[in-house]
Structures are given as structure tokens and as C-alpha cells.
Structure 1
Amino acid sequence: MQSIILKSSVKYWFIGAVVILALVQTNISALAQTKPRIIISTDIGGTDPDDFQSMIHLLMYADRFQIEGLVSSPYGDGRTKDILNMIDLYEKDLSKLKKHSSGFPAPDALRAVCKQGAIKEAAYKGFSAATEGSDWIIRCARKKSDQPLWVLVWGGFEDLAQALHDAPEIKDRIRVYMIGGPNKKWGVNAYSYIAEHHPDLWMIEANATYRGWFMDPESPKNITSKAFYGNYIQGRGAMGKDFINYYKGDIKMGDTPSLAYLMKGNPDTPTGESWGGSFTPIDRSSRAIFERNTTTADTVATYSVVEWRFKGPKLAIPTDSACFTLDISGQLWPGYYLGEGRYGVRYSPKQVEVGSYTTHSSISELDGQKGKYVSVAPWPGKRGPNDYVLGRNWYGDRTEPELFLGTQQGAKTVSKHREEFLMDWAKRWEWLK
């Protein structure tokens, strides 16, 4: 009898152990599936070299994410080759990284999801034609998954706008963290299309918060933007060797807060604490329309969309044809024919400023128009009749004065986590030593 009882106990113990092991394996599998699904849309290789730094950071944390797409959405000369060059460096360091985590993706798997996006900025209507990048966003968004697809916009907005135009139903499947500011300035037409036609998009629009990543007035001396390279990056792997080529190794990585938002904090709650900042719900996006030249008596919110519209001859050319330029501080924005003798151009000031503009055109009525404007914080500022009305899932930079760093709205919600984030990254650089 005792033998029977013993055998029975062993049997049930074995069954219990098998069940527990299965549960553990199930939980491990479930944990693996909770890696955030991401697509990065980047202007790497374009006008600002900070995307190279952010791409190196992404690859060093690639075990933490399901990277479904790396889209080149450039302002300037950036192309997919710039992403591929970074993956080549990652491949050289991969054996050292894998000693610490088995979750790093194969280099060829990353190369397979590199796609070329829009090369030119969108015209006035905000979209043009499908690209390899915009189609890839749609394809990934349509995958069956219990998770949303996070579209992290580091560069141009054009591919996101095109994807939403071509497949508006994907809005229910994606969440967007958009690095605005200068990107909004260059991609103002694509932004305007998104805000006007897809206000129900789940969106974090970070126009200034991200700047807390590289504004370090209170950082310990060992992790200031200039000191971090020498203390923690220099001499560590192929990626560390390459890092010096961008801002001489000074830390900027202005796009990285979008990724950091998914690394520490609850991404379902933009109003909470996270490495990528804290945000506030907004129900409108500022837009000012002027049917005349402006003066310093005209005040607009920083990061708002400003439209100047002019009258001129009725031309036998397609609407959305570029036919004049707006010159602000030596930078040029194309202006477009809107039809019926109407012309328009958009601009988004990226900082608090008193600005002036001049127009240039072979059309005499549009040539030499001049004016000034004043942009002020905070954004979105005072309500206006032409503001874009947004849905309930659009979030912007925090407006409390105590969360500003200088004139940068909400930046302290990122800078407060800077030391913790950078020291976590320093540990990974040790892996490459």
C-alpha cells in the first residue's frame, strides 16, 4: 500500500512539475510577445546628424523591441543606405551584445525591413504618392496582433501622412510618437493633412519635450553631453568608434525620447512619468491664416501652423504647383497655387522668435512680399477660429511654467530622467568594451 501511495505521489508530483514548467514557458513566451512593436521613420543622413546617434542607441537596445520597419523619411540627402551602414556596425558588435541577451535580432532581419520613404516634402495638400515606406507602414499595421504598432517619427511626416491617406483604417492599429519642432517646420504640409483629416489618431506630438535629452544644466559632470562620450563610449566596439563622427561625440539624440518612452513608464498613459516625457491631452492644434502680410503686431504660438495666402493671376497650371518661395532666415519654403488666382504657403516656427519673411517668384504679384511675425510660448496658445480640432487621444507638451527648460516647453519631464537613462545605457556600452 505504501508503495502504491509513493508511486502515486511521484506521479502527481511529476505531472505538477510538467504543468509548472509549461506555465513558466508560457509566461516566458508571453513576455517575449510583449516587446513593443515599432517602426522608426528617420531622416538619418539628412540635415541633422543626431539620427545616427539615435540609431546606434536603438540597435544597442534592439533586444527590447520588435523592430518591424526602419523607414528612410529624409529631409536632405538621407537614404536607406545610411540605415544599412549602421546595421553593418551593429553586426560587428553583435557577438558581444549577445553574450548579455539572446534577444538581439539578426542583422539580415533588420536589413529586410529597411524601406525607402518619401524623398521630397509634401505639397500643400499634404500627400502625394505611395512609397515603399508608406506601404510598409500599412502592411505592418494590418498584421494581426494584440498590440498596437508604434510609429516613431524621427524625420519626415510624409510617409505617415501617405499611409493614413491610402489606408485610413490603420488608425485603430497604430500609435504615433512624433518628434515635432524642426521636423514639423519642414513637414508642415504633411502635418496639416494629418491634423485636419485624421484628428482621431492616437498621437504624442513632442515639439519641445524631447529637448530635455540634451539640455543638461543640472547633470552630473560625468554625464554632460560633452563628457559622456569620453567616459562611457570611447573605445567600445564598432558603434562606439563611429559615434565620434556625429557632433564630435557630444550627446544629442533628439529623437531617442520616442524610443525611451517605451522603455520606462506606462506607454498607455502619456500623462504619467516615463523616460520619454510626460504629456497633456490637447483638443486643438494652433493654426493662423492670414490673407495679408503680417507685422510684429501679429502673434502666433510657437509650433503652430501659420498660413499666408495671396491673390494673383489665374493660371492654367494644376493646383498644388509650386510657383513661389517663402524666405525666412535664408531657408526657403515652397508656396503653391491653390486655384482661382489664390496662392498659399505654410510655415511652423520652431522656437520663440521675432521672424521676418520675403517671397520670391517670377510672378510679379507674388514677388517681394514682406512681413514679420512674433511666435510665443506656450503651445498651443490662445484659441483661434482656424485651429485644427483634435480628437481625445492627441497629446502635447506640458504647459506648466515649472516644467520649461528655458523656452523649451515640457523639457523637464525628460531631463529629470536623463541620469537614470544614460547610466543604463552606459552599462550596455560596457558590454562592448
Structure 2
Amino acid sequence: MNRFLLFFLISFYSFTLIAQQKVPVKPRILISSDIGGTDPDDNQSFAHLFMYSELFTIEGLVSSPSFGDGNKEEILRMINLYEKDLPKLKKHQKGLLSPDYLRSITKQGRHGAAPYIGYTKPTEGSEWIIKCAKKKDKEPLWVLVWGGLEDAAQALHDAPEIQNKIKIVWIGGPNKKWSANSYAYIAANFPNLWFIENNSSYYGLFSNNNEPDSVKTTDYYDKYIQGAGNLGKDFKNYYNGNVKMGDTPTLLYMMDGDPNHPERESWGGSFEKMTHSPRVIFNGITTTKDTVAYCTVTEFHLKGPVINIPADSACFWMETTLKGKVQKWPGYYLGNGEYAIKYVPKQAEILKYKFTSEVPNFPVQDGVLVVENLWPGKKHNTDYKLGNSWYTDKSDPNLYDGKIQGGKTILKWRNAILMDWAERWSWLLDK
């Protein structure tokens, strides 16, 4: 793209659309990410984080892959790319964080999802969360979770006193599906935790919205990133350069206005209080007469043979199909012939599933469940009762972006967000 035209576009959007509000205090943040695990969008979000690192006091970068092969080495690789581009970035922006410092706070968390009880053993990552939370500081530690909640749940289990020192901003949705047991543990045992549960609004950053004046995520790479340093070259490896960055709304939320007020408008979305987190228990197979809201903790309790294995052992599977591929979710033996599984549907659908096991005489059977598109939906007497500081996607139908609840609370800022970032990418272009 012509460099003059690029400068004009950035200046135009910056003048007409940017609505950032000053953040009262530079926030202390810790990232818990499944980078390298379930979804490569975390790599895009790390590029964004490092390029805006002067805005945050970053205290931890924790690899927490609830599924897949993610590890802290992937965070370190992203830091190496940032280090190569830092000389150019520093010509335009003071205060960007040192790569050596970022390496020093990179820690390995849990590999894999927690069992039915919701926690297991401490990890380097969970212990680092505790250490950062216990620092003497009048400001809270904001734990931004870009994957499963395993390390956050473990930290809370091992040091419950930190619940008043941390605030969690979580990208749920599919991550809640992978991390059902840890989420359930936190909701049941820490209802007064300060918590934003973003199950759908984040889609507004990259939804396939074709408004005429919208900055397109599909050609953003070609227009603004191509040729922009080492981070730019690497960006092409994820979704062929299409912008997804499903976790970046946690950063955007911390960058725009006072994060202590989730109901405000911000680049990272706008949220409303929730007093209950839906939990539905089925004692057996469901049919099309049974419904739950998406992102509901859905428990199936089954009767089966009495076996001699430790309680909380995975011994049966719930099989579902996504885009033609079978996914298997572990179920657990609770003892005395009782079996159970927590499953979280991530979207509205008619869910077909099958329970299987190698346990002799286990009741192998098929079922179906109707999942509705309004969260958190109606109340149940089995729900997790929450305190006064748990927030989630706004339920106003006017704020849906197509089928995405709350999507417009972020979609409305997408042009400003991406054009502001385009200016920083321009610093890395060869001139």
C-alpha cells in the first residue's frame, strides 16, 4: 500500500473514531494463556500485548494449556521476535518492557484439564499467581485468562486468601468447554470473587461483519502488517494472517477507561452483573425435551457397576462431533457405582452425544440436548449463586452481533482498535 495513503487512513480513523478514555492507574496484569495449545490466536494476542507493553505493569506470563501441547517455550519464542523488533518500536514509544524482564516472569502452568474436583497439584504457574497476588500493593492483580482456568483455580485452592487481591477477566466460551471442572470449582467456592466472564462478546472483534465502512479482519494483514518486522512476518502463520485475537479483548478492556467498572463502555466490551451461573444436573440421558443455555455447566450423573478404582478417576467418555470430527470429554468415577461428567456447550445447537467406556457393563447410550442462545438464561435451584462482583456479556437483544450475544459492545470499536494498532505496525515497516 502507498505509504502516504496508509498514513492518511490511520490519521483519519484516529481522528474520527478513537474513543479511548484515560486509565486511572497503570494496571498490574498477569496473563494465563493456552498459547501453542488449542488455538493459535494467542500468538496474535501476544504480538499485540508486547507492542503495547508500556501500558501495563506485566507481572506474569503463564502457560496454562488445558488442552493441546502448549508450553512456555512458545511464549519465549514470541518474546524473541519482539526483541528483534524492539529497536524500531522504541523510536516511537517510550516505556516498552524489556525482553529479559518478560523472560524472567514467564512460567509453566498445568498441562491438561483438571479432573472432576476442579484442581490437582501446584504448578510453577499457579505458585507465581499466588506470589504476585500477595505482593504489597494497593492495586489489585488483574489475572487475564486466555485459556483454561486450571492455574487460577489451583492458586485459589492453595491460597484462598488471594481472592480479595485478584480480579479475573476471562475469555470463556470454548475455553469454558475445555475447563468446565475448574470453572465449576471457582464458581462454587469463590462466589464473591471479582470476575468478568466473557463468553461471547469477544467475537465482535473478528466477526464476519460486512458493514461498508468496517475495517476488514480478512485483509488487515495485507494492508497494514505485511512487511512489518519479525512480528509481522510471524503473524502470517496464524489463520493465514486473518485477524482473530479472541483473547485481546481482555487487554483492550484494561487499556480503555476504569477497569473497575465493567458496565461502562470500553474497547474491550461492556458487561452486566450476573447473580447466578447456570448449572443443570441430569440423572441420566436427555432428549429434545431438555434444554440448557449455552455455556451452562451441564452435569450428567449415571448409575453403573461398582468398580475398584480411585474416586475422581476418568473412566468413561462423552463423545460429540464438531465439524465432522469426534471430540471426547472425560467422565469420572465418584465411587459406589456413581459416575459423573461436567460438560459445557459453547453454542446454540441440537447437541448429539454418546457415552462410552471400557468398564464392563457400563451403560453405553446415546442422547440429545437442545442448547439455547441466551446466557445465562432461566434460573435453576442447582445454579451457582454468585456475589455482587461477577459480570458477563450483556443480554440486550439489540447488542447481539448476528447470533453473538453482546458482540456489538466490541464491534462498535473495531475500526478504532485496528487502526490504532495499524499505526504501531507502521513503525516496523522498512522506510
Residue 117 of structure 1 corresponds to 109
Residue 333 of structure 1 corresponds to 329
3-state DSSP of counterpart to 1:176 = strand
Residue 17 of structure 2 corresponds to none
Counterparts of 1:356-371 in structure 2, within 5 Å, are 356-371=352-367
Q: 1:343 aligns with which of 336, 339, 342?
A: 339
Return the letter of the residue paired with 1:347. Answer: Y
Return the letter of the residue paired with 1:333. Answer: W
Preserved contact between residue 210 and residue 255 of structure 1 (Cα < 8 Å): yes
Q: Deviations over 1:275-324 (max 9, x none)?
A: 11000000000011000100011000111010101011222221101111
Q: Which runs of 5+ in 2 are unaligned?
A: 1-21
Shift of 1:81: 0.6
Residue 53 of structure 2 corresponds to 62
Q: 1:163 aligns with which of 155, 158, 163?
A: 155
Preserved contact between residue 331 and residue 340 of structure 2 (Cα < 8 Å): yes
3-state DSSP of counterpart to 1:381 = coil
3-state DSSP of counterpart to 1:297 = coil
Preserved contact between residue 39 and residue 68 of structure 1 (Cα < 8 Å): yes
Return the letter of the residue paired with 1:309. Answer: H
Preserved contact between residue 348 and residue 372 of structure 2 (Cα < 8 Å): yes
Of stretches 210-219 and 395-404 in structure 1, the one that deviates more from structure 2 is: 210-219
Residue 217 of structure 1 corresponds to 209
Of stretches 186-195 and 260-269 in structure 1, the one that deviates more from structure 2 is: 260-269
Shift of 1:34: 2.9
- 2:295 is equivalent to residue 303 of structure 1: yes
Q: Which runs of 5+ in 1 are unaligned?
A: 1-30
Preserved contact between residue 305 and residue 362 of structure 2 (Cα < 8 Å): no
TM-score, length-scaled by structure 1: 0.91
- When residues 307 and 207 of structure 1 are mapped into structure 2, their CA distance, relative to the original with a 3 A threshold, is same
Residue 402 of structure 2 corresponds to 406
Residue 351 of structure 2 corresponds to 355
Shift of 1:370: 1.2
3-state DSSP of counterpart to 2:254 = coil
Distance, in Å, in 1 between the alignment partners of 2:328 and 2:213 is: 39
RMSD: 1.4
Preserved contact between residue 310 and residue 366 of structure 1 (Cα < 8 Å): no
Shift of 1:223: 2.2
Return the letter of the residue paired with 2:382. Answer: N
3-state DSSP of counterpart to 1:185 = helix
Counterparts of 1:221-232 in structure 2, within 5 Å, are 223-232=215-224
- When residues 270 and 33 of structure 1 are mapped into structure 2, their CA distance, relative to the original with a 3 A threshold, is closer
Shift of 1:44: 0.6
Residue 95 of structure 2 corresponds to 103
Return the letter of the residue paired with 1:265. Answer: G
Corresponding residue pairs, total: 403
Shift of 1:216: 4.3
Shift of 1:363: 1.9
Distance, in Å, in 1 between the alignment partners of 2:329 and 2:189 is: 23
Shift of 1:268: 1.1
Higher-RCO chain (CA-CA 8 Å, sequence separation at least 6): 2
Preserved contact between residue 23 and residue 255 of structure 2 (Cα < 8 Å): no
Distance, in Å, in 1 between the alignment partners of 2:165 and 2:35 is: 26
3-state DSSP of counterpart to 1:55 = helix
Return the letter of the residue paired with 1:430. Answer: S
Q: 1:42 aligns with which of 33, 36, 43?
A: 33
Preserved contact between residue 73 and residue 159 of structure 1 (Cα < 8 Å): yes
**Which is helix-richer, 1 or 2?**
1
Preserved contact between residue 221 and residue 227 of structure 1 (Cα < 8 Å): no
Q: Deviations over 1:148-184 (max 9, x none)?
A: 1110000111000000000111111111001000000
Shift of 1:105: 1.2
Residue 280 of structure 1 corresponds to 272
- 2:421 is equivalent to residue 429 of structure 1: no
- 2:114 is equivalent to residue 151 of structure 1: no
Preserved contact between residue 24 and residue 258 of structure 2 (Cα < 8 Å): no
Quick check: which has more Rg, 1 or 2?
Answer: 1
Residue 324 of structure 1 corresponds to 316
Distance, in Å, in 2 between the alignment partners of 1:396 and 1:293 is: 30
- 2:393 is equivalent to residue 397 of structure 1: yes
3-state DSSP of counterpart to 2:175 = helix
Preserved contact between residue 304 and residue 363 of structure 2 (Cα < 8 Å): no
TM-score, length-scaled by structure 2: 0.91
Preserved contact between residue 219 and residue 419 of structure 1 (Cα < 8 Å): no
Preserved contact between residue 23 and residue 257 of structure 2 (Cα < 8 Å): no
Q: Deviations over 1:324-372 (max 9, x none)?
A: 1110111111000111110001110100000111111112443522100
Shift of 1:219: 4.6
Distance, in Å, in 2 between the alignment partners of 1:416 and 1:89 is: 31
Q: 1:420 aligns with which of 416, 419, 424?
A: 416
Counterparts of 1:251-262 in structure 2, within 5 Å, are 251-262=243-254
Residue 387 of structure 1 corresponds to 383
Distance, in Å, in 2 between the alignment partners of 1:275 and 1:72 is: 25
Return the letter of the residue paired with 1:53. Answer: Q
Preserved contact between residue 278 and residue 397 of structure 1 (Cα < 8 Å): yes
Shift of 1:222: 7.0
Distance, in Å, in 2 between the alignment partners of 1:269 and 1:367 is: 49
